[in-house]
Amino acid sequence: MHVYDENKNLVAADTLGDDVPEADVAPEWDGPFYIQLSAESLDEGASPAEDWYFCFIIGSRKL
């Protein structure tokens, strides 16, 4: 998982091979941010429709 700012600068990333990607981002400016997700390849014979699910949570709080 990679998080980019509006200028496509990388601001956070999780490149570990585990199954729980997470990144904490506390931007000091307003504007659009982009999140790029990717998954490891499936085991041979596995079906993405049957064996995979994705959940993506974005949370915010006013500091």
Sequence ranges of the domains in the chain: 1-63
Highest mean pLDDT among 3-7, 15-19, 39-43: 3-7
Could you give the count of Cα atoms lying within 13 Å of 19 in the half-sphere of its Cβ? 6
Residue 55 banded pLDDT, cuts 50, 70, 90:
low
Amino acid at residue number 4 = Y
Please list, residue by residue across 31-62, b when 16 or more beta carbons sit within 10 angstroms of its beta carbon and e when fewer do.
eeeeeeeeeeeeeeeeeeeeeeeeeeeeeeee
Q: Which residue has the higher pLDDT, 22 or 4?
A: 4
d(CA 26, CA 48): 33
Mean pLDDT, all residues of the chain: 76
d(CA 21, CA 7): 23
